[in-house]
């Protein structure tokens, strides 16, 4: 294809798009790394959005009512960085562009959540970005319902390639967005028909237009290299009350003769020879990283375009009744409402006084219900496991007709839930809770990683946590999941031993602001193990002595979590009866325990005593606490289908076995 370049003096969107192309190429060549195809191919689309439609103010990146822009095809990150730089984001100065992919820069290989620099979410793992965008669009409608059009009324745009649309998560969120009729959501599909492996028709036969329409979307198809056409389509999309998808036909690597419309454009290296050829081809005469004044000004104007709108918004916010204003500010700061802690304390008192053996998941559901009463920003969902988890309760659903609902019917779509939760979280103003069986956390696992990487909160409730589910069998019995979740950096894995610890887990989960929390719940009843009333959150130390040794110096230390704490307590009874002074340590969170000082950890772990870990899961990781010579009573393989008591006996997770492991080591 021969490409026409503009050479007259006026600046139009095509010129502005060229600025993106060359800035991106210069950065990629300098970094000797990066994916050129997207910034070259998508420059016209992005220009149309950023100069005509996107509501933002580069001087105030975190303006709460800004439109959100998600660069879902994260590998093409230079498209985003170029846009942010050209629009004048302070934290995206030219040095950042020059240091693309250099350690310590704001311009990582793939965009990393950094709202003050204009990066709304972390993208790169395909499909995550578009799913985050659907979550953002939900958050917007929820807050709009509470505060009205004057305060919250913005669009969410996601730029997507073919890869995002092929991932399974895409189908999940396209279905949900259409079903919920999220009219302020717009997907811009960079329809370049080329992936790293070659033409998309190697792997795709589906008609995307039909696909989106069949999911209740408004769909348009335009020439993605005609910014006016793209701008007009966005205008039409905004008018429609359905979510919109705009198929923008483009050429990957547009403008660089060697790679244009070639698979090499996706992630292949480009050199100064390529940029020279592109300069020739596109009529660009400027040196690397240089921009003529009129183009720079035009981009700067685009970045400042929203200033007056933002000021008007600020005036409306200032004019709110004081209580509303305070509430909005509280939500934007991510702070919890005053008095919420009382819910925790009340629950702890209630649970301490009760003798009821309560399933972990039921206690968790009670905490969610009680907290939801006082934390209006708490939004919940449990993909088709509402009955099994009892995590819906009094909440009415968020639907296309009722934006005041606070329970999301995700359908059987765990991956969508996780990514939408992340989207709601980074949008701001929402505390998101998602509940499913622990085995299905695999389906949404990558969303947990991204939350941890972004250092944002999120409460993930995982139930049916062991062979304790019984007859549903090994497909539904998680034996490796505690280890695999503990492996995720910055994830807190909390496995409460009883309802009191469950209340403490929710306390911790609500307080956490710099990373996600997984609350691991049993299906089976948990014997109450915490019998003394105390306001202090003992679980906050990660591990603590639940029952100290009696009748002499401690000789054995039993370390356990969740439902196995009561097994350890029973083993302690056996050992004490044998005159072996034995302590039981409950370890609801390894991560929090690791954060304690060495002296505390040594004291709790009982230096020099015989140590045995008890957990109905694989041993991986336990050696850190029991030592190479310590014992472990748990699972060494997958579970089985059968009665719960039969299974615990069959797999040898019994008090007798724990006691034997101790005595064999005395």
Length of the chain: 666
Burial environment of residue 556 by CB neighbours within 10 A (0 to 12, 13 to 18, 19 or more) = buried
How do beta strands 185-191 and 244-249 pair?
parallel
Judge whether 162 is annotated as a binding position. yes
- Residue whose C-alpha is closest to residue 607's, from 642, 573, 557: 557
Identity of the residue, 415 or 495, whose beta carbon is nearer to a second copy in the bound complex: 415
Give me 268's structure tokens: 């292949």
Q: How far is the CA of 529 from the CAs of 139, 300, 425, 483, 502, in angstroms?
A: 39, 63, 34, 24, 12
DSSP string, 54-93: ----TT-TT-TTSPEEEE-SGGGHHHHHHHHHHHT-GGG-
Identity of the residue, 429 or 639, whose beta carbon is nearer to a second copy in the bound complex: 639
Judge whether 35 is annotated as a binding position. yes
Q: How far apart are CB 86 and a second copy at their closest, in Å?
A: 21
- Is residue 592 within 8 A of residue 542, CB to CB? The reply is yes
Give me 124's structure tokens: 């790169």
Rounded to whole angstroms, the Cα distance separating 503 from 366 reads: 9
Identity of the residue, 210 or 326, whose beta carbon is nearer to a second copy in the bound complex: 210
Judge whether 179 is annotated as a binding position. no
- Is residue 562 within 8 A of residue 615, CB to CB? The reply is yes
Identity of the residue, 146 or 449, whose beta carbon is nearer to a second copy in the bound complex: 449
Sequence-ordered list of residues with C-beta below 8 angstroms from that of 382, at least 6 positions apart, any chain: 389, 391, 392, 410, 434, 435, 436, 461
Kind and range of the H or E element at 245? strand 244-249
Q: What are phi and psi of 191, to 5 degrees?
A: -85, 75
Q: Is 221 helix (H, G, I), strand (E, B) or coil?
A: strand
- Is residue 79 within 8 A of residue 71, CB to CB? The reply is yes
Q: How far apart are CB 459 and a second copy at their closest, in Å?
A: 20
Q: How far apart are CB 477 and a second copy at their closest, in Å?
A: 9
Identity of the residue, 485 or 510, whose beta carbon is nearer to a second copy in the bound complex: 485
Kind and range of the H or E element at 381? strand 378-381
Judge whether 476 is annotated as a binding position. yes
Identity of the residue, 47 or 77, whose beta carbon is nearer to a second copy in the bound complex: 77
Give me 647's structure tokens: 């299974």
- Residue whose C-alpha is closest to residue 70's, from 450, 369, 442, 371: 450
Identity of the residue, 243 or 588, whose beta carbon is nearer to a second copy in the bound complex: 243
Q: Give the strands of the sheet with 459-463, arranged side by side.
A: 407-408, 378-381, 431-437, 459-463, 517-520, 492-494
CA angle, residues 573, 558, 357, in degrees to nearest 5: 60
Give me 50's structure tokens: 């950023």
Judge whether 110 is annotated as a binding position. no
Rounded to whole angstroms, the Cα distance separating 187 from 167 reads: 15
Rounded to whole angstroms, the Cα distance separating 296 from 583 reads: 70
Judge whether 523 is annotated as a binding position. yes
Would residue 327 show up in a list of annotated catalytic residues for this protein? no
Identity of the residue, 340 or 440, whose beta carbon is nearer to a second copy in the bound complex: 440
Give me 625's structure tokens: 């606490």
Q: How far apart are CB 475 and a second copy at their closest, in Å?
A: 4
Identity of the residue, 54 or 259, whose beta carbon is nearer to a second copy in the bound complex: 259
Rounded to whole angstroms, the Cα distance separating 577 from 340 reads: 44
Q: How far apart are CB 497 and a second copy at their closest, in Å?
A: 22
Judge whether 125 is annotated as a binding position. yes
Q: How far apart are CB 366 and a second copy at their closest, in Å?
A: 20
Rounded to whole angstroms, the Cα distance separating 638 from 267 reads: 41
Judge whether 225 is annotated as a binding position. no
CA angle, residues 127, 130, 134, in degrees to nearest 5: 130
Q: How far apart are CB 603 and a second copy at their closest, in Å?
A: 15
Identity of the residue, 31 or 587, whose beta carbon is nearer to a second copy in the bound complex: 31
Q: How far apart are CB 472 and a second copy at their closest, in Å?
A: 4
DSSP string, 327-351: HHHHHHHTPPPTTTHHHHHHHHHHH
Q: How far apart are CB 635 and a second copy at their closest, in Å?
A: 8
* Options 414, 501, 504, 661, the catalytic residue: 414
- Residue whose C-alpha is closest to residue 441's, from 420, 460, 419, 467: 460
Judge whether 355 is annotated as a binding position. no
Q: How far apart are CB 105 and a second copy at their closest, in Å?
A: 8
DSSP state of 277: H
Q: Is 200 helix (H, G, I), strand (E, B) or coil?
A: helix
Kind and range of the H or E element at 174? helix 168-179
Q: Known binding site for substrate: residues?
A: 35, 266, 464, 476, 523
Q: Known binding site: residues?
A: 35, 75, 124-126, 162-163, 192, 266, 440, 464, 476, 523
Question: Which residues are catalytically annotated?
Answer: 414
Q: Known binding site for Mg(2+): residues?
A: 162, 192
Q: Known binding site for thiamine diphosphate: residues?
A: 75, 124-126, 163, 192, 266, 440
């Amino acid at each position: 294809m021969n490409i026409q370049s503009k050479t007259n003096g006026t600046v139009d969107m095509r010129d502005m798009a060229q600025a993106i192309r060359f800035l991106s190429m210069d950065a990629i060549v300098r970094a000797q790394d990066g994916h050129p195809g997207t910034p070259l191919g998508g420059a016209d689309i992005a220009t149309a959005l950023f100069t005509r439609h996107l509501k933002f103010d580069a001087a105030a990146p975190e303006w709460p009512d800004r439109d959100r822009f998600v660069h879902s095809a994260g590998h093409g990150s230079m498209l985003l960085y170029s846009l942010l730089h050209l629009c004048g984001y302070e934290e995206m100065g030219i040095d950042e562009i020059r240091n693309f992919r250099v350690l310590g820069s704001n311009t990582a290989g793939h965009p990393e959540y950094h709202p003050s620099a204009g990066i709304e979410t972390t993208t790169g793992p395909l499909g995550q970005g578009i799913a985050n965008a659907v979550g953002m669009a939900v958050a917007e409608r929820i807050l709009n319902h509470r505060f009205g059009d004057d305060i919250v009324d913005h669009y969410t745009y996601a730029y997507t390639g073919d890869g995002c649309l092929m991932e399974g998560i895409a189908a999940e969120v396209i279905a949900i967005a259409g079903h919920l009729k999220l009219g302020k959501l717009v997907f811009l599909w960079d329809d370049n028909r080329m992936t790293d492996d070659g033409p998309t028709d190697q792997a795709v036969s589906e008609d995307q237009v039909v696909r989106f329409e069949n999911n209740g979307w408004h769909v348009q198809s335009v020439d993605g290299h005609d910014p006016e056409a793209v701008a007009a389509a966005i205008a039409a999309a905004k008018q429609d009350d359905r979510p919109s998808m705009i198929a923008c036909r483009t050429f990957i690597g547009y403008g660089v003769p060697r790679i244009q419309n070639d698979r090499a454009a996706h992630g292949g290296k480009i050199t100064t020879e390529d940029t020279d050829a592109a300069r020739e081809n596109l009529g660009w005469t400027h040196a690397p990283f240089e921009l003529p004044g009129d183009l720079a000004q035009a981009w700067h104007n685009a970045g400042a375009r929203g200033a007056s709108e933002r000021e008007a918004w600020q005036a409306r916010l200032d004019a709110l009744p004081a209580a509303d204003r305070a509430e909005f500010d509280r939500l934007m700061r991510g702070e919890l409402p005053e008095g919420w802690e009382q819910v925790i304390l009340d629950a702890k008192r209630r649970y301490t006084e009760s003798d009821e053996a309560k399933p972990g998941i039921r206690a968790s559901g009670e905490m969610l219900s009680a907290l939801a009463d006082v934390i209006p920003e708490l939004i919940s969902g449990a993909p088709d496991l509402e009955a099994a988890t009892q995590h819906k309760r009094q909440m009415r659903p968020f639907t296309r007709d009722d934006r005041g609902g606070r329970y999301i019917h995700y359908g059987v779509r765990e991956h969508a839930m996780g990514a939408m939760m992340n989207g709601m979280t980074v949008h701001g103003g929402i505390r998101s809770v998602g509940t499913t069986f622990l085995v299905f956390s695999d389906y949404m696992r990558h969303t947990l990683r991204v939350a941890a990487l972004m250092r944002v909160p999120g409460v993930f409730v995982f139930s049916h946590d062991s062979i304790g589910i019984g007859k549903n069998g090994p497909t539904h019995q998680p034996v490796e999941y505690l280890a695999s979740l503990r492996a995720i950096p910055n994830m807190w894995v909390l496995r409460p031993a009883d309802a009191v610890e469950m209340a403490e887990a929710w306390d911790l989960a609500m307080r956490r602001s710099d990373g996600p929390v997984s609350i691991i719940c049993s299906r089976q009843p948990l014997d109450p193990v915490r019998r003394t009333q105390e306001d202090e959150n003992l679980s906050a130390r990660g591990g603590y002595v639940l029952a100290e040794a009696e009748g002499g110096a401690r000789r054995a230390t039993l370390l356990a979590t969740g439902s196995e704490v009561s097994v350890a307590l029973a083993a302690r009874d056996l050992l004490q009866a044998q005159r072996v002074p034995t302590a039981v340590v409950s370890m609801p969170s390894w991560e929090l325990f690791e954060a304690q000082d060495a002296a505390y950890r040594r004291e709790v772990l009982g230096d020099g005593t015989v140590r045995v870990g008890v957990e109905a899961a694989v041993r991986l990781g336990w050696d850190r606490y029991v030592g190479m010579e310590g014992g472990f009573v748990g699972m060494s393989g997958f579970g089985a289908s059968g009665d719960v008591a039969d299974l615990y006996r069959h797999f040898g997770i019994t008090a007798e076995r724990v006691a034997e492991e101790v005595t064999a080591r005395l």
